[in-house]
Amino acid sequence: MTRWNNGLDEVERVSEDITEETNALPARYFTDPDVHELEKEKVFGRYWIYAGHANCVPEPGDHFTRTVGDSELIVVRDHDGEVRAYYNVCAHRGSAMVEETPMTDAGNARRIRCPYHLWTYDLDGTLSSTPQSFEDARLNPDLDDEDVAELDTERNALMEVNTDRIGPFVFVNLHDDPPLSLAEQAGSMKDELEALPLEEYQLARRYVSEVECNWKVFGGNYSECDHCQANHQDWVSGLELMDSELEVDDYHWILHYKHKEDVDDEMRIHEEHEAKFYYFWPNFTVNMYGTANGYGTYIIDPIDEGRFQLIADYYFEEPDLSEEEAEFVRTSRQLQEEDFELVERQQRGLESGAIAQAQLGPNEHTVHRLHLLAQEAYEA
C-alpha cells in the first residue's frame, strides 16, 4: 500500500517484483538535492549516455558540445572519420576551450585551440603546438632556455571519453572502465535499431523545454500509458490501446501501440503499422509514431533535483517537412505539452511531504524497472 509520511511507516527498498506491495522509489529520491548529486556519479558517471547524432558532424573537424552531469564534452569527427569525445578541458591550466555549441549548429575546426594560452590539439586529441613562451624562459630570470623541459604531446593530450554507437546514435561513458559495454547495456535494442535505416535521416527540427520536475518523474510518465486515455485523447483515438504491448529488457523497454487503420507503406520507417517508443536507461528515447517517414528522440537531462531539460529532435529524409511530417511533429509536441502539465503536478505532490513512498499498478512494470535500476545504481 501507499506509505504516507505520517511518522508510522518507514520506506523500503524498491521491490524486485512489481506484485509486491512496496514497489516504487521513496519520494525523497525525486526531491532530495543529495540524491541529484549522487546520480551524477552513480548514474550519469557509470552508464552509457546518448551524446548526439553522427549525421550532425559529417566532416572532419565538425563538432558540438554536450554536458553530462557536471562534465562538459566536445564531440568531434576526426580526420579518420571516427566520432570521438573529449573533456572540454585544456591540459595546461584546465580552461574550458570550446564555447557551448549545440548539435543543431555544429562548428568546424581543423584543430581544437584553447583561447587562454593558445595550446592547440589535433582532432585525435594530441597536443600539436604551444606558443613560443612555453619553449623558452625569456621572462624568468631564474631559468635558462635549456632548463625548460620539452612538453610530452601524448601526456598533455586531451582527456578522451569512451564512445560507442548504435547506428548513427553516439553514446559516451565517463567511467574509466565502464561496468557494461554499450552492447550489453542496449541488449536487443541495439540490433533492432541498427536494422533500421536511421542513418539515412537528417535532423530537421529541435525543441528544448525546461520542465519543473525530477527527470525520473518524466521518465516514468513516458514509460507507461495508463494515463493516456484520460490525458492524450486526440492521440489515442487512432490507436488500439487494448492491443498494445510493453516489452521490458534489462536496461530498455519498448512500448508498442497498434494503429486502428493501416498507414501508407511509404509513410513509415518500420515494418509494422504501429507507434513504437523505446526508452533506454537512463535518459534517452527513440520515438516512432507509425504515421510519418521519420523518427524522434528525447534527451531527458537533469538540471537539479526538481528540474530537467527535454531536448526533442526530429529526423526526416529532408529538412523541409511535408504535411505528414509536420503533423508528426505537431502530434509529438502536443503530447509533450500535455505530459509537462502532468509531471509538474506529480512533482508538486512529491515535494509536499505528504507521501513517503508510492505504489505502482500492474501495468506499470516499465516504471518499476526504471525505479529498480535507479535503486541499484545508488547502491552500486
d(CA 151, CA 222): 51
Residue recorded with cell 507507461: 224
Domains of the chain, each with CATH number or no CATH: 49-167 (2.102.10.10), 188-379 (3.90.380.10)
Calpha distance 283→380 (Å, rounded): 19
Cα–Cα distance measured from residue 13 to residue 368, given in angstroms and rounded to the nearest whole number: 12
Length of the chain (residues): 380
Collapse the DSSP code of 85 into the 3-class scheme (helix H, G, I; strand E, B; otherwise coil) and give the result. strand
| Total Cβ atoms within 10 A of residue 131 | 10
Cα of 39 vs its chain's centroid, Å: 14
Can you read off the three cell numbers belonging to residue 359?
505504489
Tens digits of pLDDT across the chain (380 residues): 788 888 656 888 898 888 887 689 999 999 999 999 999 999 999 999 999 999 999 999 999 999 999 999 999 999 999 999 999 999 999 999 999 999 999 999 999 999 999 999 999 999 999 988 788 777 788 888 777 778 888 899 999 999 999 999 999 999 999 999 999 999 999 999 999 999 999 999 999 999 999 999 999 999 998 887 788 877 666 666 666 788 899 999 998 877 665 544 444 455 445 678 999 999 999 998 766 789 999 999 999 999 999 999 999 999 999 998 998 899 889 999 999 999 999 999 999 999 999 999 988 999 999 999 999 999 98
Closest CA relative to residue 202, chosen from 29, 321, 36 = 321
* Separation of alpha carbons 62 and 183, rounded Å: 26
Q: Report how far apart, in Å, the C-alpha atoms of 359 and of each of 11, 36, 298, 374 are.
A: 11, 22, 26, 16
